[in-house]
């Protein structure tokens, strides 16, 4: 992807929020449903439990409202809503329309579907709208994969779950947070991970694993190169939360120690579009990101897609939110 032109209007994240359904499904619960064990799931994936239930609109409204409250932005002043989801509540209209209404927004709203890479796709799209004049954009990543998971298939039932994460992006004077980005897709690999309309997820786990590591590393490397930074400069990597062994393997190849990765999958499972904003919010809430830190977001998913971005947290030193 070409470098970001100089002097475009930049943006920073000024609020974030998350939502997880109340119902928790532990590995021990899964032992009662399919032929598996807590030990196997923990060792092979890093997942201990996941949240299931709720709708894409309902979870998005919860996380979006929390992000708006934290930023202090008047919902009526939001210029656009971008909702990343691969599990909309209806085929038509987009789930973002109902979310826009329930949050009291008065702006355009649309869904983005790039599977588990979708939140980064949506965030890049939102920065593009800010470069073109928008001042405030709400970006939400939500998935309700429990609805398209075959709970009798141990191959997939151990992985997928529901959740939502949101951020408010505001235009700034001076340099914004986005230093570089990369979006990739390879439609020839769609056969390894898909769900037909009205059906459940089909997955070739081994092939997805193999490709996931490669495309995450490729995308992250492109973003680091575009930003002119190295792995040593990255304070925190916020990866897609699919399998801790994928994260470990990608970090090893990138030369980033696991201590510098944010992981929440042990308690959330794979929440697709929600996984990166959930892991980002967790890191922020635990004080793991400070102003000026370089944060690498990197995801991969069905498509197969990959996406990454380098953020300088808080933007440049003279970044002040535009009124
Ligand atoms: N519980 C217990 N045993 C299981 C099992 C389960 N849920 N699933 C498979 N096994 C068994 C297999 O039958 C096999 O047994 P065998 O050695 O006697 O033949 C053994 O465990 C190893 O199976 P394998 O399929 O090689 O496991 P794996 O290490 O590849 O792990 C995944 C399977 C699905 C966890 C892993 O491939 C993965 O995470 N892939 C990526 C999936 C992904 O990220 N999808 C979302 C992308 S956004």
Last residue of a domain, one of 123, 143, 171: 171
Q: Which residues contact 76 (CB under 8 A, 6 or more apart)?
A: 104, 105, 106
CA 24 to chain centre: 21
- If asked whether residues 200 and 123 sit together in one domain, one would say no
pLDDT at position 135 is 97
- Spatial distance between the Cα atoms of 209 and 39, rounded to a whole number of angstroms: 20
pLDDT at 123: 98
Verify that 138 and 187 share a domain, yes or no.
no
Q: Give the end of a domain, one of 129, 152, 171.
A: 171
CATH number at residue 298: 3.40.47.10
One domain, residues 156 and 45 = yes
What is the reported pLDDT for 2? 67
In a domain, 322, yes or no: no
The closest residue, in CA terms, to atom 31 on ligand 1 is 44
Q: Is residue 124 part of a domain?
A: yes
Is residue 22 included in any domain, yes or no? yes
Residue whose Cα lies nearest atom 4 of ligand 1: it is: 36
Q: Is residue 153 located within the same domain as residue 234?
A: no
CB atoms within 10 A of CB 23: 13
Q: Is 303 found in the same domain as 277?
A: yes
Shortest CA distance to 158 belongs to which of 308, 30, 52? 30
Q: Are strands 234-239 and 320-321 parallel, antiparallel or unpaired?
A: unpaired
Do 26 and 165 belong together in one domain?
yes
For residue 115, the ligand 1 atom closest to its alpha carbon is 48
Q: 108: closest CA among 91, 89, 83, 74? A: 83
Ligand 1 centroid to Cα of residue 299, in Å, is: 20
Q: In the chain, how many domains are there?
A: 2
Residues of the domain holding 36: 11-171
Which pLDDT score is estimated for 174? 78
The pLDDT value given to residue 106? 97
**Cβ distance 82 to 105 under 8 Å?**
no
User: For the chain, which residues score pLDDT lower than 70?
Assistant: 1-2
Residue 317 within a domain? no
Residue where the block lists tokens 């609109």: 57
Instruction: Please check whether residues 165 and 184 belong to one and the same domain.
Output: no
Give the binding-site residues of ligand 1, using a 6 Å CB cut-off. 36, 40, 44-45, 116, 154-155, 158-159, 193, 203, 205-206, 208-209, 212, 242-243, 270, 301
For ligand 1, atom 13, the nearest C-alpha belongs to 155
Give the pLDDT of residue 188.
98
CA separation (Å) from 283 to 17, 18, 127, 261, 313? 12, 12, 22, 9, 12
Residue 251 lies in a domain: yes
Please name the helix (run of DSSP H) or strand (run of DSSP E) that holds residue 30, with its range, or none.
helix 27-31
pLDDT reported for residue 5:
85
- Determine the pLDDT at residue 1: 65
Q: Which residues are catalytic?
A: 116, 240, 270
- Write down the pLDDT at residue 175: 86
């Amino acid at each position: 992807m070409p470098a970001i032109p100089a002097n475009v209007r930049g943006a920073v994240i000024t609020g974030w929020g998350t939502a997880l359904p109340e119902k928790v499904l532990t590995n021990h619960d899964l032992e009662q449903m399919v032929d598996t064990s807590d030990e196997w799931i923990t060792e092979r994936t890093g997942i201990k439990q996941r949240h299931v239930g709720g709708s894409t609109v309902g979870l998005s409204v919860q996380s979006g409202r929390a992000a708006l409250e934290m930023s202090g932005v008047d919902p009526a002043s939001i210029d656009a809503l971008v909702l990343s989801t691969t599990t909309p509540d209806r085929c038509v209209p987009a789930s973002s329309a109902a979310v826009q209404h329930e949050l009291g927004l008065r702006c355009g709203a649309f869904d983005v579907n790039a599977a588990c890479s979708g939140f980064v796709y949506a965030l890049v799209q939102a920065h593009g709208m800010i470069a073109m004049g928008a001042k405030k954009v709400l970006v939400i990543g939500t998935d309700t994969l429990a609805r398209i998971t075959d709970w009798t298939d141990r191959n997939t039932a151990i992985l997928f779950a529901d959740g939502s994460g949101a951020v408010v992006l505001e235009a700034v004077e001076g340099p914004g947070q986005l230093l570089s980005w990369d979006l990739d897709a390879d439609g020839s690999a769609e056969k390894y991970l898909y769900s037909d309309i009205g059906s459940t997820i089909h997955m070739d786990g081994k092939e997805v694993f193999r490709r996931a590591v490669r495309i995450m590393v490729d995308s992250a490397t492109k973003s680091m190169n575009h930003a002119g930074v190295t792995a040593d400069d990255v304070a925190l990597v916020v990866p897609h939360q699919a399998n801790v062994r994928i994260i470990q393997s990608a970090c090893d190849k990138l030369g980033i120690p696991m201590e510098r990765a944010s992981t929440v999958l042990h308690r959330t499972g794979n929440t697709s579009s929600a996984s990166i904003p959930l892991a980002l919010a967790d890191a922020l809430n635990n004080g793991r990101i400070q102003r000026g830190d370089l944060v690498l977001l990197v995801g991969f998913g069905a498509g197969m897609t990959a996406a990454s971005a380098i953020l300088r947290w808080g933007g440049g030193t003279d970044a002040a939110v535009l009124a």
